[in-house]
Amino acid sequence: MFLAWKEIRYAKMKFLLITGIITLITSLVLSISGLANGLSVDNASAIKNMTADIYVVEESDQHQLERSMMTPDDIDAVKGGSPLGLKMVEMIHDGETVNISLFALDSESPFMPDGEESVKLAPYELLADPALKKEGYKPGDTFTYGEKTWIIRGFTEERFSYGHTPVMFTSIETWKDLLGDDLRYQALLFKDHEGEDIPSNLDKASKDDILSNVPGFSAEQGSLKMMVIFLLIISAIVLATFFYVMTLQKLHQYGVLKAIGAKTGILLRALFVQISILSTFGILAGNTLTYGLTQLIPGDVPFEISSGMILLNNGLILAMAWIGSLLSFRSIMNVDPLEAIGGVK
């Protein structure tokens, strides 16, 4: 600790530059991770936050909810479960078109999300995604769709969005009245389903399967996660280069320390502590910078970041810094005191 801190104080600008690089890397990783999570929430939080674990849907190679068409007879053929209706609609509010994902569930279903206030939905009443509240909507606001007037009764506690559109929940009675003779359902929801076999024209799908088949979800998340992975690899290479060059510049000093009896383990621990200090300060500064940037991001940009995500990314960046230091460790272990001292002019 003594050796590490003394050198940092002696060469302030050099170590400040490295800390700045770690700060920028941390901020960039957190920003991309926040964007990936924000897009995930904006695209599929209705599935992620739904408490159902098993979905019975129409047989298909791709289990996309909006493409599944189940008749009332299909629903009756499977015992238990809660029917789900899903329709992407355009509602009119004050003369403006609002894109909505309309979800229909039985009001007594365990899968109906909790509202900020306890409400029982009457016909053509809605429980809305709280993102709409941020856009200025409030309970009592009315919409027009299908020659019917719909009323927001309240908002859900959690985010519910599907296909980058806010979700509005309505009752199954409203769904039946809305579709009439063309009544179709998109899925039958279960907490688990280990009972009898389902009809051959239906499939049983897990939540993860349904989630991965939400349009655009896998492509968005895969691209952004690959960006984060490559950024972490690049950060390890950049930091390894910096630390290695710094170590080469100090080989004669390490040689002198070895010549006067300093053990290799002490020198390695000093470098490890030095890297840990620089990385910690850089990561903390990167978190602060990211927080400042989030205050400038427009409200319509999907950006979500959690404490768990911050801790995970901080840990990965710190690990990359340690991995990047291994090349420097090797140089210290192999330095010969006589050659290092002889190189001093």
Residue 345 is predicted with a pLDDT of 45
At residue 98, the pLDDT reads 92
The full DSSP string for 145-196 is ETTEEEEEEEEBSS--EETTEEEEEEEHHHHHHHHGGG--BSEEEES---SS
131-140, 234-243, 292-301, 331-340 — which one is most confidently predicted on average?
131-140
Choice among 25-34, 227-236, 277-286, 299-308 with the minimum mean pLDDT: 299-308
Across 21-35, 151-165, 237-251, 314-328, least confident range: 237-251
**Cβ neighbours, 10 Å, residue 314:** 19
pLDDT tens column, 180-200: 888 999 999 998 766 567 888
The half-sphere exposure of 163 on its side-chain side, counting CA atoms within 13 A, is: 18
Residue 110 near residue 161, CB atoms below 8 Å = no
pTM (predicted TM-score)? 0.76
Give the up-direction half-sphere exposure of residue 28: CA atoms within 13 A in the CB hemisphere.
Answer: 15
